[in-house]
Copies of this chain bind each other. A is one copy, B any other.
Amino acid sequence: MIVVLAPQATKENLMQVTNMLEERGYAVHITEGVAQTIVGAIGLPTDPTAKGEVMEQFESLAYVDKVVAVTKPYKIVSRQFRPEPTVITVRGIRIGDPTFAVIMAGPCTVETESQLRESARAVKDAGAHILRGGAFKPSTSPYSFHGHGESALKMLAAARDEFDMPVITEVMDVRDVDLVCKYADILQIGTRNMANFSLLREVGKTQTPVMLKRGMSATIEEWLQAAEYIASQGNTNIILCERGIRTFETYTRNTFDLNAIPAVKELSHLPIIADPSHATGKASLVSAVSRGAIAAGADGLIIEVHPSPETALKDGAQSLRPEAFRELLRDLDPVCRAVGRRM
């Protein structure tokens, strides 16, 4: 249940509503908007049969605009809770703004300082806004490379300063959240950790924006519930990322679920980014899928770019060379404009 206060409602009114909800057994979550304040009542009333009655009581209050029942298992991240799109601003870059398409790019893994600087310069020159790079890497095999950890985080922070680009990097362990927050502008939760609820709660306790990748076998609504885990801890700076799901198809690494873009837009107010690199696993398909995602309403892209993909420690087959990335953005530009976005 969501209680939307009237524009003229005072702080006192808000406190009254909060108290009344808590008395009836609800947990309360407050979102103060520019024009209106919204109070989320989470859970069920002590007496669940009285739910309709409770709604009427609140609706009759003079300083309450409307009361909305939210039947979805996700509340705070639902479109019902917040009809207008959420925009998250990271060092001046606006993610979720319907007039802007954000481009995140960089290597899968931070390998060396020179590789990262070369990548950062290349993607910046081509027009990217945010630098990606892995310091902690999930890997199916325990014997593979798992990232350079803190030293890679330091290289990312150095690259951010040199090239004036916010950086995004993955956090995989609850014990690393503080460390990664020290260096990163956006935390990434990878596909394998989408349902690592401890980790979701831990990043939910920070105020650092979080990009939550869809689990490779998660339904759209399970994904939104994972986002709700983060939001329920107080961090609503959440960016969703569709990175392909696991299906029977073997020609591509994953199946990019285009439906998910407009589906998320109708179910949630959160920004959604597409990751065509993981969704396809093939450099030759990345540009087309990028255009498709933006045309369908994605708020941006995250793309793997590597100065020499054939020597990359991970995911070389899906990484673009800098020149291919430049070409991608050149082809993307008219599509962005066609749907009212600038890059």
Q: Which residues of A contact B (CB under 8 A)?
A: 27, 42-43, 73-75, 138-143, 146, 172-175, 192-193, 195-198, 201, 216-217, 219-222, 225, 228-229, 232, 244-252, 255-263, 265-266, 279-280, 282, 284-285, 287-289, 291-297, 334-335, 337-339
Contacts and interface: CB of A to CB of B under 8 A. Distances in A.
A311 to B, nearest CB: 16
A174 B193 CA distance: 13
A229 B197 contact: no
Given A143-B43, A196-B193, A217-B248, A291 B285 contact: no
Contacts of A248: 217, 219, 245-248
Given A143-B232, A292-B295, 10 more contacts: A42-B143, A73-B140, A73-B143, A74-B141, A140-B195, A219-B250, A261-B288, A289-B296, A295-B296, A335-B339
Nearest to A261: B288
Nearest to A279: B259
Contacts of A266: 284-285
A339 B339 CA distance: 13
A217 to B, nearest CB: 3
A174 B175 contact: yes
B259 A220 contact: no
A202 B294 CA distance: 41
B141 A295 contact: no
A143 B199 CA distance: 16
Contact of A288 (B27, B291, B296): B296
B295 A280 contact: no
A142 B234 CA distance: 12
B219 A251 contact: yes
A239 to B, nearest CB: 18
Contacts of A246: 217, 248
Contact of A259 (B138, B201, B259, B285): B285
Nearest to A335: B338
Nearest to A74: B141
Contact of A141 (B73, B244, B337): B73
A140 B222 contact: yes
A284 B195 CA distance: 28
Contacts of A75: 143
A175 to B, nearest CB: 7
A254 to B, nearest CB: 8
B289 A262 contact: yes
Nearest to A292: B296
Nearest to A199: B196
Contacts of A196: 192-193, 196
